[in-house]
Amino acid sequence: MSASLESRRQRTLGREAAERISAGCYGALVSASTLIGLSEADLGLIVTIVALTNVVYFATHVFAYTLGDVSAKRPSRIVLHHMAVSAPMVSAAFVPLILVVVLAAFDVAIETALLWGVGAAVAYLVVVATAGARLRGYPALAVVFTAIGSAVIAALLIVAKLLLH
């Protein structure tokens, strides 16, 4: 077996790690798209809306994946499994929200703080997606395209959100 193939096999993600990466990417997109539409809200409402939105998406994600799970595990084990691997959907909102709160505490305008929060969410998305591609053993060019694609998807989602408001 070639050294390159063996190296790729060692970097292959397990199913749970792949699900966590997917959930983290999804949570970052939800956070960014939620933050971008809140420039008229006060800080408390921003934190509440982003946190609740991510929790609702998390619950919906767990529900859908639990229904679609074909494993022979007991239903309670299936739910717990999907809750565990989907947790990054909620935790992905922490850094952008903390950044918004800290900037607001330093009297940065809410609109500016929100843009920084969106930037943090997009950066998180790109880092997690790119790391996932590397861990999957993708070639360097595919990793670069993953990073670019992640940023483009985030930008399209943000633009779509802005057009709706």
Within 8 A by CB and 6+ apart from 60, the residues are none
Output the pLDDT for position 160: 85
- For residue 96, tell me if it sits in a domain: yes
- For residue 3, tell me if it sits in a domain: no
- For residue 124, tell me if it sits in a domain: yes
- For residue 160, tell me if it sits in a domain: yes
- For residue 4, tell me if it sits in a domain: no
Output the pLDDT for position 5: 45
- For residue 1, tell me if it sits in a domain: no
Radius of gyration, CA atoms only, the chain: 18
Indicate the pTM of the whole model.
Answer: 0.82
Domain of residue 96 covers: 14-164
Number of domains, the chain: 1
The pLDDT averaged over each successive group of 10 residues in the chain (165 residues) is 51 76 90 90 94 94 89 88 91 93 96 94 93 89 94 88 76
